[in-house]
Amino acid sequence: MAHIKKRWDLLCWLLVAPALGTRIFCTLYPILRTVYDSLFQINKIRRINRFNGIGNYIQMLQDTNLLDTIQFTAIFTIASIALHTLLGVGLALLLNAQFRGRKVLRSVVLIPWATPLVVAGIAATWAFNDMYGFVNDLIRRVLPSFSCDWLVGLATARWAVILVDVWKDTPFYAIMILAGLQSIPADLYEAALADGSGPVSSFFRITLPNIAPLMCTMTVFFSLWRLTQFDLVYAMTQGGPGTSTSLLSYRTYIEAFKNLNFGYASAISVVLCLFMVVVAAAGFRAKKHLDFET
Amino acid sequence: MRKICALLLALTLVFGVVSASAKVVIYTSEAGGDDFAAFAKAASEATGVEIEGLTAPTNYSDFVPKITAMLSSNSDAVDIVWIDELLGVSFASAGYLEPLDGVIDDATKAQFSPDVLNNICSKDGKLYMIPATATPMFLFVNKKLFKDAGIAYPTTQQEFFAAAKALTKGDVYGYGAAWSLGGQLFNDVIRWMDAYDGDYMDWTQEGSRQALQAMHDMIYVDKITPVAALGDIYDAVNQKFIDGKYAMIYQWPYVFGVIGADKFDENYEVIPVPTFKTNKTIVSGWQYAINASSANKDEAKKVIKWLASAEGQKLHITLRDSSAARTDVLNSPDVIKQYPMLGATGTYAAAGSLMPRPMNDKINAIMDATEATLQNYLTDKITLDECVEKGMADMDAIMAGK
């Protein structure tokens, strides 16, 4: 009997092996190769390929443009996540309410999420144009003398990028939270109502604690997606003005595929990966704590 | 049944091999145009090689990483590539292009600019590219705005700024520009530095500093250029020019096609470059080259030879009102009559206005690093001295191979 089970296990492993091998090759090999390449100075244009040790990492510390990029990547991630959380939970609460047309609204709100980000980015370039854009056109219906070159100013360009990102993915965040809201037993709210609890109190004492673990998980994944955001900057600002809206992924892409500086690009990728590991570890630790408490 | 399948398979293989060996794929943004089919047909008839076009992005920022990734990964998906001098110099250095020695004869070579052939199209004495266009950045003016204001077209620096100031009213600006990242700002800074007799590779030169100062002052002191220029790409500038929001723009000749030949003469005109310290403007050239990883190099060389011929260059002009690089074609009265922009190129050339952009194999990295610094200066984030110091430090580091 034992040897039949062993054979069966072996057969299972054999059947899974091709898929597993492909997955390992497509994931593990690129990671290891990138770490390896980050220790070399590799430039295809100048045909250089020599061991550099931690030279690329030292260069990163001296590269002021890259430090600006790291700064905005952090700002972008934190601001975007904060807005996603606030607006996403708000939208989820709205979609959870009972009103006519709720089902249609739940479908309609997903349209931004279904729009390819490159398309959204190119459209946003025109949307935020002072002369031709609908953003300023809408504002001018309230403030007729309003004028703002969104993509020219450092702060306004950053906000424009963050707002487009929030517009794009908040519906998806909201739908995930909505699923969590619908899993909260209704009798909890009934009991709270019987005890004289109002809607605000119910939200903070019932709703929020029940969806907190889900929010934590969503925050981890959304943070990782923000850290690796590329399409939006590529299509909308190319990292400008200056380097004020440059993100780490975009900078990696430029170094690798425009400057053919693969060693330096690999080093930036490794650093980005380390940031992601830290964020993921912190997030899952927090979730563990929340799971324990709930 | 087995014999029929084997026969079918053999026929497929034979047909496939025959087809593959006689077909050349040209990677060009022109392949998306309506005229490319006729162009490809004429090329096929002249060379006996089947030609297929693969459409490249028209947006330069999209085009660069796509073609770089394609060539650096040794892809044989394309045989002939359509590239400008920035890319050509880099790719020739990196070994991505096939040498073309022996493909064109001396009589043909004599029809091209020696500067372009030797400095742009060749590397270490070997020819890698065939020039196909010579496109200057023209000074386009809105005739109506000038006429309504009663101002003559500028011929000097003083007249240029006086006209620009006089024409700036409300939401109309005397001079419009695209100073966003991705090559637009790079081109314009070189152009302005040429006008002030500066050097893009040396920002410490007086002419270079004056050019940067002038660009800054256009926005903040003279106010003849809107701040929006720092966020605008060429498409936005073209639209604003068409909408009468800009009286003058320096722009590539493709805007003639954007406006449309029937509408152009009514409202717009190309005027000679006003003399600042010089009357220079940049001239860009696009070239055809063979992918070093191409599986059809012999066929590709036949096509390249035809592209370098007078017939090939004349037909090439039909692609979206493109240009030519052969002097006999550029000076042909029939061609000039049909394509006025070529006449303007001849006029600029005769006035000595054409200046190629500085090229070396690190130019893409230099453009990337310096555009960010330039934008920081033009958005008043840093001073001129800080801009010059940072720009030169970045360029020196890149040139030193760091």
Chain segment B248-279, per-residue pLDDT in tens: 999 998 888 788 877 888 899 999 999 999 99
**A49 in a domain, yes or no?**
no
Q: Using a CB-CB distance cutoff of 8 angstroms, which residues of chain A are in contact with residue B368?
A: 254, 258-259
Calculate Rg over the CA atoms of chain A. 24
Considering CB atoms only, which of B68, B72, B375 is closest to A240? B375
Of B93, B368, B379, the CB nearest to A154: B379
B214 and B306 in a single domain? The answer is no
What's the structural domain count of chain A? 1
Residue A280: give the domain boundaries: 55-293
Our CA-based measurement puts residue B160 at a distance from the nearest CA of chain A, in whole angstroms, of 25
DSSP at A240 = -
Residue of A nearest to B364 (CA): A259
Nearest Cα of chain B lies from the Cα of A232 at a distance, in angstroms, of 13
The answer to whether residues B187 and B251 belong to one domain is yes
Based on the fold, state whether residues B245 and B381 are members of the same structural domain. Answer: yes
Tell me, yes or no, whether B249 and B274 share the same domain: yes
What confidence score (pLDDT) does residue B342 get?
Answer: 81
Partners of A149 on chain B (C-beta within 8 Å) are 226-228, 230-231
Quick check: is B209 in a domain? yes
Mean pLDDT of all residues in B366-374: 91
**Structural domain includes residue A92:** yes
Instruction: Check pLDDT > 70 for residue B11.
Output: no
pLDDT for A293 equals 58
The whole domain housing B323 covers: 21-134+285-330
Nearest chain B residue to A152 by CA distance is B231
Write down the pLDDT at residue B318.
81
> Is A38 within a domain?
no
In chain A, what residues touch B230 (CB-CB under 8 Å)? 149, 152, 240-241
Residues B213 and B119 in one domain: no
Nearest CB neighbour to A259, from listed B365, B373, B402: B365
**Pair (B303, B263) in one structural domain:** no
**pLDDT-based confidence at B8, cuts 50/70/90?**
low
B161 backbone dihedrals φ, ψ, rounded to 5° = -70, -35
Closest residue in chain B to residue A56, using alpha carbons only:
B402
CATH classification of the domain holding A179: 1.10.3720.10
DSSP lists the bridge partners of residue B354 as: B281
Chain A neighbors of B72, CB-CB under 8 A: 44, 257, 260
Contact B94 A131 (CB under 8 A): no
The CATH number that applies at residue B194 is 3.40.190.10
Q: Is residue A37 part of a domain?
A: no
* Closest approach of A17 to chain B, Cα-based (Å): 29
Of residues A125, A150, A242, nearest to B375 (C-beta):
A242
Which residue numbers in chain A have pLDDT < 50?
none
B253 & B210 share domain = yes
Q: What is the pLDDT of residues B84-116, one digit of tens each?
A: 988 898 899 889 999 998 999 999 998 888 878
CB contact under 8 A, A258 and B64: yes
In chain B, whose CA is at the least distance from the CA of A238? B181
pTM flag (> 0.80): yes
Across the interface, of B171, B181, B368, the residue whose CB is closest to A259 is: B368
Of A46, A153, A242, the CB nearest to B361: A46
Q: Is residue B173 part of a domain?
A: yes
pLDDT at position B6: 63
Query: Which residue in A259, A264, A268 has the most chain B C-beta atoms within 10 A of its own C-beta, making it the best mutation to test that interface?
Result: A259
Residues of A in contact with B86 (CB under 8 A): none
Of B231, B368, B372, the CB nearest to A149: B231
Q: Which of A151-155, B118-122, B337-341 has the highest mean pLDDT?
A: A151-155
Instruction: Collect all residues of chain B within an 8 Å Cβ-Cβ radius of residue A132.
Output: 236, 239
Give B-chain residues touching A60 at CB under 8 angstroms. none
The reply to whether B3 falls in a domain is no
Specify whether the CB–CB gap between B268 and B73 falls below 8 A: no
**Residue B62 pLDDT:** 81
What confidence score (pLDDT) does residue B155 get?
A: 97
B365 to chain A: closest CA residue: A259
Residue B4 counted as domain residue: no
Tell which of A41, A42, A44, A45 to mutate to test the B interface (max B CBs under 10 Å). Answer: A45
